[in-house]
Amino acid sequence: MQPDRMHEAMSPDGTRIVGGVHGHGPPLVLVPGGPADGETGWLALLPSLSDHFTCYTINTRGRGPSGDHPDHSRARIVEDIVAFVESISDAVLLFGHSAGGTHALEAAANTTAVRALALYEPTLVELAESSLRDRFEDAFVRVRQTVGDGRPADGAQIFLEELALANDDELALFEEVGAAQEMAPLVPLVLEEATQSGPPQLTDLSLLERVTIPVLLLHGACTHPFYKQVARQVADWLADCRLREVPDLGHLGPEVAPQAVTNELRWLVEAAATTAAQ
């Protein structure tokens, strides 16, 4: 889906951050997770979402048309998002998926430019049981090996199976459309991010106390128990959170069932209006 126009911002360290702009309505910045960018991460969701929002498909450093920089630490990625959000004239809505949800959550704690926040299964590895953390660490080792062997698509498949913890239906659908091949070019970048800052997590869980805007926290009914656990724990810590379970979906819900996710995200308009009136 071709953007109507492009929007640019400058991160504090001088990195150019670019995103496409689609549709009409309240401004909604979309932060993708894992080996995806603003150009590829929202292909399924944009057609329905852009009927209700002006969607800004941000590319953090090293992704899509944005500039690159040697520093791919979590702090710099969060700065990219904050700079992009603050460059939009109106107070925005913010949505993040998976690791993108983790970054969006931390960005919302560091700016007053976000009026309401939505998250689909943010990845907070610090909340995982030790056996699952070991599984994640092993997965990153295996992904690194595949990249070293010149097989990044195999690394993307490991991401889907061992880090996204996709269910069988999602894996079958993604195999049918060749998603691993599409994700392959960004696998080395995700590895570099993990090398510099570890797996997706918050800098400090106390950041949750600073997020006082309305938050819509979504998880799929058919997702891995880890993602349900994270959603419930984060919801308990946030000041103003609406926790919603989306029927029949797993971790890749925004790609698999975009209309169901769009229907949930429309609540952000009501939440933002309430915030603006206060």
Question: What average pLDDT is seen over the chain?
Answer: 95
pLDDT score for 269: 86
> Where do the domains of the chain lie, and which CATH numbers do they carry?
5-127+200-277 (3.40.50.1820), 130-194 (no CATH)
Q: Could you report the per-residue pLDDT of 163-189, keeping only the tens digit for each?
A: 999 999 999 999 999 999 999 999 999
Q: What is the pLDDT averaged over residues 85-93? A: 92
10 Å Cβ neighbour count for 112?
A: 10
φ, ψ for residue 50 (rounded to 5)?
-75, -5
Q: Could you report the per-residue pLDDT of 2-40, keeping only the tens digit for each?
A: 899 999 999 999 999 999 999 999 999 999 999 999 989
Helix spans in the chain (H)? 46-49, 74-86, 99-108, 130-148, 152-158, 168-176, 179-183, 187-197, 225-237, 253-256, 258-265, 267-277
Q: Could you report the per-residue pLDDT of 143-161, keeping only the tens digit for each?
A: 999 999 999 999 999 999 9
Sign of the Cα pseudo-torsion (206, 207, 212, 214, in order): negative
pLDDT score for 277: 58
pLDDT score for 276: 60
Alpha-carbon distances of 41 from 36, 76, 122, 241, rounded to whole Å = 5, 20, 15, 25
The DSSP code for 160 is: I
Cα–Cα distance, 193 to 199 (Å, whole number): 8
Please list, residue by residue across 64-94, b when 16 or more beta carbons sit within 10 angstroms of its beta carbon and e when fewer do: bebbebeebbbebbbbbbbbbbeebeebbbb
At a CB cut-off of 8 Å and minimum separation 6, what does 237 contact? 205, 208, 209
Coil vs helix vs strand at 16: strand
Q: Could you report the per-residue pLDDT of 194-237, keeping only the tens digit for each?
A: 999 999 999 999 999 999 999 999 999 999 999 999 999 999 99
pLDDT score for 29: 98
pLDDT score for 72: 98
pLDDT confidence tier of residue 78, bands split at 50, 70 and 90: very high
pLDDT confidence tier of residue 102, bands split at 50, 70 and 90: very high
Higher-confidence position of 275 and 262: 262
